[in-house]
């Protein structure tokens, strides 16, 4: 399996010889990315092609070269994305009229609420995709400054760890989806209980059930891969920034230690370190402008979904549905925890940079370099952090606060008797 950064590999055979050579430098086999092997050196940009390929698969970005069927596939994917809140909400309304099981109703409500953010996050990602792609030449420039074996190993390690995150998250989401449709197949219930108008009009019950079931399973995997990429890309892009902050910190700590370098050489090395820091700030602004919107949407939806999970868990769910609800609760928490963890670690990595500047061999450097070091240390004291639309700081503290908020909201609603009122209301309707 080969992942190409700019175009799908189906079209490689149509390229000329020079284009093939150029293309071969921009793609690696999946196992090379996973195990960190290969004759060519790894680049930071090798962390992104898997995500970009999945975005092309679900229509967030177009496959190249453009064609009628590629654009048709993209249009169909966007139709499915924007229809997801509609089919979930109408399906939920229909379910409330057909069943009196509060556990089933609230389980469907959890998925319906989570579907509201999918088209919004995908649209934001597609709209600002050029900003994410704009960091690739900057990373290429940064990689060129690190040619020693330790630095090249750190870059390769970042690529392999990003690939591991990709595989872990995809396998986890698909495992949840597989367990969901298998349990539904054994109990002869629908997996998502969505509204499918043309399918629901089929009079034959067996054909209606299995055709509806098959479409729901395919739709489930489509939504899972969309949700997976929405949750994964902030962590991967932040981890790349972390790698280069660590490399810059190590580089700064060795300033002035090489006796073979002149004062002029040390000054130019320091200038290059300052330039690297400015480029990392440029990358963080470009990446932060995208992830701040998508994570704000996810934080808002997660707080609501987690509250519904708490109500379902303690008021309505039986033993089997409690297990499913707990698993779903943990899954919703992990949707933001991966990006929040990387953002928190980035803050810690940034805090080490001023210390490295202060403890470098500045006393052996000339007066001009010392003045520049003071300026550099002043600029480096401002950590690289991300804020979700100027409301929530993206870190583990916010992720924990969302979970605490959902529990507090559940406690308030329980004390106000909202859960019991809902239960009696549905019983009277039934």
Residue 320 is classified by DSSP as H
> pLDDT category, 99, cuts 50, 70, 90?
low
Q: Looking at residues 150-160, what average pLDDT do you find?
A: 93
- Percent above pLDDT 90 for the chain: 38
**Greater model confidence, 16 or 391:** 391
Is pTM, for the whole model, over 0.75?
yes
Question: Could you give the C-alpha distances from 313 to 89, 137, 217, 330, in angstroms and in order?
Answer: 21, 49, 25, 13
Checking if the pLDDT of 223 tops 80, the result is yes
Q: Provide the token pair at 276.
A: 């690297």
pLDDT at 68: 82
43-96 per-position pLDDT tens digit:
999 999 999 999 999 988 887 777 788 889 899 999 999 999 999 998 888 887
> pLDDT category, 336, cuts 50, 70, 90?
confident
**Residue 405 parent element (H or E):** helix 396-415
> Is residue 78 classed exposed, middle or buried when 0-12, 13-18 and 19+ CB atoms within 10 A define those classes?
middle
Q: How far apart are CA 305 and CA 403, in angstroms?
A: 10
**Buried residues in 1-29 as b, exposed as e (16+ CB within 10 A):** eebbbebbeeeeeeeeeeeeeebeeebbe
Average per-residue pLDDT in the chain? Answer: 83
**Buried residues in 263-275 as b, exposed as e (16+ CB within 10 A):** eeebbebbeebbe
> pLDDT category, 290, cuts 50, 70, 90?
very high
pLDDT at 11: 35
Q: Which of 191-200, 274-283, 375-384 has the highest mean pLDDT?
A: 274-283
> Is residue 75 classed exposed, middle or buried when 0-12, 13-18 and 19+ CB atoms within 10 A define those classes?
exposed
> pLDDT category, 311, cuts 50, 70, 90?
confident
Which residue, chain included where needed, has tokens 């989401």?
173
pLDDT at 423: 56
Pair 206, 311: CB distance under 8 Å: no
Pair 202, 208: CB distance under 8 Å: yes
**Greater model confidence, 412 or 224:** 224
Checking if the pLDDT of 306 tops 90, the result is no
pLDDT at 27: 53
Checking if the pLDDT of 198 tops 90, the result is no
**Helix, strand or coil for residue 55?**
helix
Which residues have a Cβ under 8 Å from the Cβ of 393 and sit 6 or more positions away? 385, 386, 387
Q: Looking at residues 236-265, what average pLDDT do you find?
A: 90
Domain boundaries, the chain: 85-429
Which residues have a Cβ under 8 Å from the Cβ of 296 and sit 6 or more positions away? 388, 389, 391, 392
**Greater model confidence, 407 or 212:** 212
**Helix, strand or coil for residue 3?**
strand
Checking if the pLDDT of 14 tops 90, the result is no
Residue 195 is classified by DSSP as -
């Amino acid at each position: 399996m080969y992942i190409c950064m700019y175009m799908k590999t189906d079209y490689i055979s149509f390229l000329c010889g020079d284009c093939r050579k150029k293309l071969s430098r921009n793609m690696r086999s999946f196992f090379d990315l996973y195990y960190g092997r290969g004759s060519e050196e790894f680049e930071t940009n090798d962390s992104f092609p898997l995500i970009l390929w999945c975005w092309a698969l679900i229509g967030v970005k177009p496959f190249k070269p453009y064609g009628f069927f590629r654009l048709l596939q993209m249009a169909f994917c966007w139709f499915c994305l924007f229809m997801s809140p509609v089919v979930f909400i109408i399906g939920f309304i229909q379910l409330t009229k057909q069943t009196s099981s509060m556990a089933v109703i609230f389980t469907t409500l959890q998925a319906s609420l989570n579907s509201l953010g999918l088209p919004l996050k995908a649209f934001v990602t597609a709209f600002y995709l050029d900003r994410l792609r704009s960091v690739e030449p900057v990373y290429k420039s940064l990689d060129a400054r690190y040619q020693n074996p330790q630095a090249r190993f750190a870059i390769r390690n970042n690529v392999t760890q990003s690939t591991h995150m990709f595989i872990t998250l995809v396998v986890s989401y698909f495992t949840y989806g597989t367990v969901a449709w298998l349990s539904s197949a054994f109990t002869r219930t629908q997996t998502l209980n969505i509204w499918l108008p043309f399918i629901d009009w089929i009079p034959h019950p067996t054909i209606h059930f299995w055709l509806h079931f098959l479409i729901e399973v395919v739709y489930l995997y489509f939504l899972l891969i969309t949700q997976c990429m929405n949750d994964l890309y902030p962590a991967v892009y932040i981890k790349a920034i972390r790698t280069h902050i660590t490399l810059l910190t190590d580089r700064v700590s060795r300033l002035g230690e090489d006796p073979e370098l002149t004062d002029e050489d040390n000054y130019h090395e320091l200038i290059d370190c300052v330039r690297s820091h400015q480029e990392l700030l440029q990358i963080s602004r470009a990446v932060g402008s995208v992830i701040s919107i998508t994570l704000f949407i996810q934080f808002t939806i997660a707080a609501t979904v987690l509250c519904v999970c708490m109500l379902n868990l303690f008021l309505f769910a039986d033993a089997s549905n409690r297990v499913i609800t707990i698993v779903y609760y943990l899954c919703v928490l992990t949707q933001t925890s991966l990006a929040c963890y990387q953002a928190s670690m980035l803050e810690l990595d940034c805090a080490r940079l001023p210390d490295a500047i202060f403890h470098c061999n500045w006393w052996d450097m000339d007066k001009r370099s010392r003045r520049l070091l003071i300026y550099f240390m002043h600029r480096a004291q401002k950590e690289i952090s991300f804020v979700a639309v100027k409301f929530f700081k993206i870190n583990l503290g916010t992720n924990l606060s969302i979970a605490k908020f959902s529990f507090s909201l559940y406690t308030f609603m329980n004390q106000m008797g909202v859960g019991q009122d809902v239960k009696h209301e549905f019983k009277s309707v039934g």
